[in-house]
A and B are shown apart, each in its own frame.
Chain A
Amino acid sequence: MTKTQKRNVSGVFKNIYIYLVFLFLYLPIFYVIIFSFNTSKMNIVFENFTFEWYGTFFKNRPLMEALTNTLIIGILSTIVSTIIGTIGAIGLNKYRFKGRRIIDKLLYIPIVIPEVVLGIALLSIYSALSIPLGIVSITLSHITFSIPFVVITVRARLAGFDKFLEEAAMDLGANRVVTFWRVTLPIIMPGVLSGAMLAFSLSIDDVVISFFTSGPGSTTLPLKIFSMVKTGVTPEVNALSTVIMLITIIIIIINTLFQVKKLKANKV
């Protein structure tokens, strides 16, 4: 074999390997999509094609309640954790104070400690303080594990931040609030947005922390699915998951196209 032939063969092998790993990652997702169109309620054989489940999941009260809870908790915890995390990251980046290292260490705890431990710790403290388990306790918990991720993503953005811009704004007479609003925030916005997206996706998919901190009547979608997986997931859940997936995939495609466009523009 010549050298170019050899290179072609190894190129083909590399592509096959890449697509096999993607197959592994996407196989169960394809399964869910396909079976959301299945007439049979059993998820074993594909009988006939139907859109029925896409119409009925809206009428499934418990499922819709769980979805509403998930969205309320997800939106609330994203807003609060993004605000606290963003201004916290700015402060931690800018100021040196006593106890800074302790706060820094505390922020890593929810990231590295297994979720189950954070779950039981929060459950214990809620029960000690007689905080009832429900939407409020789940939201507080989600904010707790989201803040560190927001701080880290915003801080990464702040690392490349030119401090002189802030100083220039202040020299020109802007106060701290105006400087933050008009100079700092626009620059770190990409970090804030990706932090918020991370917080939201962590919240809507959380099983473990919600498992310990939810109460009767505050079931989230993942918890609902968790209880259903054991007894049997209905095609309605497959349909709902497909819809949610479609929305997120569209967002990601738009985001990726945007990045690709930027890369192409940089090339020219």
Chain B
Amino acid sequence: MNNKKKTNLPLIVTVGPVSTWMILLVAIPFIYVFAMSFMNKGAYGGVVIGFTLNNFKQVFDPLYLKVFGESFLISAFATIICIIIAYPFTYFIAQKSNIKKTIFMAMVIVPFLVSSLIRLFGWINLLRKDGILNSMLLKLGLIHEPLQLVYNTTGVMIGLVYMLLPFMILPLYSSIEKLDKSLLEACNDLGAKPIISFLRVTLPLTMPGIFAGSILVFIPALGYFFVTDLLGGNKTQVIGNVIRTQFITARNWPLGSAISIFLIVITLILVWLYQKSGGNMDDLGGV
């Protein structure tokens, strides 16, 4: 008895608080949202206990399906753009000296520490019709009329890529950094052209970084309602906007919960695929 107590105490002291916290404020709230998604909406907001599948029927209403489809397309597009920008960037940086690498990677993190809303506000002003970008293009004679760069899907796309690019750069960088340079030298010695050694060696070996980055870009992009709010001009919505509206303005919590469950299921499928392809979960949080 005494012996058992002795071995259990350190376990309770160390793991106890974190377990209690995660159960109380992660597990229980999510179970509650799951339960709410089968309940009825109260007359003045709130929920009425009962069981219904109506909320899930509504989730698959064409109106919502259209928003979901658009949201997926926007996320996918943002992810692809992030890969296209981040891959050469991290690849070139990885070739620099250790000191330069450290400085460059610190420079990637600095913008993170400036309020994301302030940075988005900066973009709105840069992209506006009377903004700097348009007036510069006009002066250069490249365009004759100001371009609509913000308050539409273009604006949302710029905002999302801007907000999420570092999340692609960081995992990509660590996978490119880890790359064994002698493999590339071997390719070169064996007479492979650079493009072949890139496609057959570099790309497959850096796939884990691409996967981790894609998870970190695609999933948040589905929920970032403030980016669409600020740069979308009410024209573009992501799934996050729909959930926000149901919880805050329409006050239909059961429907909002059902949409959240739908979003959770999609997230879990993507994360499952990521793990299946050999992805490490800790790579998703080490940013």
Assuming the A-B contacts A103-B18, A107-B22, are A117 and B281 also in contact, with contact meaning beta carbons closer than 8 angstroms in the complex?
no
Q: A18 near B92 (CB under 8 angstroms)?
A: yes
Assuming the A-B contacts A112-B219, A120-B260, A249-B110, are A106 and B23 also in contact, with contact meaning beta carbons closer than 8 angstroms in the complex?
yes
Q: Which of B21, B32, B226 has the most CB of A within 10 A?
A: B21
18 contacts between A and B (CB under 8 A): A17-B88, A21-B89, A25-B111, A27-B123, A28-B119, A28-B123, A32-B118, A88-B17, A97-B15, A109-B26, A110-B26, A121-B260, A221-B115, A225-B117, A229-B230, A237-B118, A263-B99, A263-B102
Q: B267 near A112 (CB under 8 angstroms)?
A: yes
Interface flag for B67 (CB, 8 Å): no
Chain B residues lying within 8 Å of A27, measured Cβ to Cβ, are 122-123, 126
Q: A260 near B95 (CB under 8 angstroms)?
A: no
Q: How large is the interface on A (under 10, 10 to 19, 20 to 34, 35 or more residues)?
A: 35 or more
Assuming the A-B contacts A91-B14, A208-B225, are A156 and B119 also in contact, with contact meaning beta carbons closer than 8 angstroms in the complex?
no
B window 234-274: CB within 8 A of A = 239-240, 243-244, 247-248, 253, 256-257, 260, 263-264, 267, 271
Assuming the A-B contacts A116-B244, A124-B253, A225-B118, are A95 and B22 also in contact, with contact meaning beta carbons closer than 8 angstroms in the complex?
no
Chain A residues lying within 8 Å of B106, measured Cβ to Cβ, are 252, 255-256, 259
CA distance A249 to B106 in the complex (A): 10
A38 → B minimal CB distance (Å): 11
Q: Chain A residues in contact with chain B, CB under 8 A?
A: 14-15, 17-18, 21-22, 24-29, 31-32, 35, 43-44, 84-85, 87-88, 90-92, 94-95, 97, 99-100, 103, 106-118, 120-125, 127-128, 140-141, 143-144, 147-149, 151-153, 155-156, 176, 198, 201, 205, 207-208, 211-212, 221-222, 225-226, 229-230, 233, 237-238, 241, 244-245, 248-249, 252, 255-256, 259-260, 263-264
**Chain A interface SS verdict (over half):** helix
Contact with A along B196-228 (1 / 0, CB 8 A): 000000000000000000010001101111100
Q: How large is the interface on B (under 10, 10 to 19, 20 to 34, 35 or more residues)?
A: 35 or more
Q: A87 near B17 (CB under 8 angstroms)?
A: yes
Chain A residues lying within 8 Å of B89, measured Cβ to Cβ, are 17-18, 21
Q: Which of A29, A125, A151, A233 has the most CB of B within 10 A?
A: A125
